[in-house]
Structure 1
Amino acid sequence: MRHFFLFLSFLALFFSCKAPEARKPVSVSSGSFINESINRNKELSAREEARIQKIIKQDTTHNYITSDGGFWYYYETKDTISNTTAKFGDIVNFNYDIKDLNGDTIYSRKELDTVNYAIDQEDLFFGLREGLKLMKEGETVVFLFPSYQAYGYYGDDHKIGTNIPLVSRVTLNKITKQSTKEN
């Protein structure tokens, strides 16, 4: 009888030390939501780019430049002598306004006032952040930003709504270098 209890104890111990098994998921996601979202964003981007290209084509007085970042711009005032642009950490002092593609003012220069901004160290929408790096002191540039370069899906929680492409006229007043070595 003693062997019987010992045998039962051994069996209980053997089967209770089984490794846990992974459970199967209750539902399987096919990724269709992500694919639909990608397609919607591609269509939105194409529509915005077509609107911007139409504006560029109709504006024969300015020479538009396509940036590597996916926005367009032209110079109202260009510095052809200096080649100093702002780098990471430099402080730029600038004024700007924001309009929609129809030319309606969303934020005036007066509302936005003069801004001091540390390049890539403070909050500023992506397109403007990249645009400031292209500018030299004293230049005035008009940028056309698709919504994904501006405030995107979320807007700014005030006057700029969801997926609004923007036009911004920026004057770079001063660059204050913060580092002595070039990046």
Structure 2
Amino acid sequence: MKKILFISVLSLLSCSKNAQTHPPVGGVLTQNDLDVSRNRMKNLNTQERTHMQEWINNQPVKYYPTQLNYWVSTQGFDQRQRRQDNTLISYSYDLYDFDETKIYDEPIERRDAKFGHFDELKAVEDALRFIHDGEEVTLLVPSSLAYGTYGDEKKIDNDIPLIIKLKAL
């Protein structure tokens, strides 16, 4: 019995010596952890924006940057009158990667969603504030405004920028 206890204690000590600690989900991060994360996202955003700009340069359609850090296929889009909270909107959108491969066969669709009360991708929710009824726009969205560092846990991996074809129904 003493041998088993000794081996157990010894193995626990040897494991903990090399184990990298991570804060629990929702745990407290140090300032250094926050700085590392911030720098990673800044570098990733720079790389994605460069890649997206190269992609845009090879397209026949012109894309315009928005204040929220995504591109849209309509000039002056985010300068339009903004829809207010509690107004209803129905919409659908298709997701594509930058190889222009459609990610899901069926579009994501919402009926009578109320602004201020629905959870959507940041870029989609922002674009819905400015889109006209019946209008269709294409959004070029960096991963930080799409599914971020976790992906959608289905078909979209982490840190993937997206092309979103959005239509107000």
TM (normalized to structure 2)? 0.73
Shift of 1:171: 1.1
> What secondary structure does 1:133 align onto?
helix
Q: Unpaired runs of 5+ in structure 1?
A: 1-28, 174-183
Aligned position for 2:150:
154
Count of aligned residue pairs for this structure pair: 137
Aligned position for 1:23:
none
Report the structure number with the largest CA radius of gyration: 1
CA RMSD, 1 decimal:
2.2
Question: Does 1:97 find its partner at 2:118?
Answer: no
- Runs of at least 4 residues of structure 1 off by over 4 A? none
> What secondary structure does 2:144 align onto?
helix
Shift of 1:155: 1.4
Measure, in 1, the Cα distance between the counterparts of 2:107 and 2:152.
15
Shift of 1:84: 6.4
Measure, in 2, the Cα distance between the counterparts of 1:117 and 1:41.
31
Measure, in 2, the Cα distance between the counterparts of 1:69 and 1:52.
15
Aligned position for 2:113:
117
Q: Unpaired runs of 5+ in structure 2?
A: 1-28
For residues 1-183 of structure 1, what are the structure 2 equivalents within 5 Å?
31-59=31-59, 61-75=60-74, 86-108=83-105, 110-173=106-169
TM (normalized to structure 1)? 0.67
Change (3 A) 1:98 1:30: closer
CA contact (8 A) 1:120 1:129 kept: no
Measure, in 1, the Cα distance between the counterparts of 2:167 and 2:30.
49
> What secondary structure does 1:105 align onto?
coil
> What secondary structure does 2:117 align onto?
coil
Change (3 A) 1:111 1:71: closer
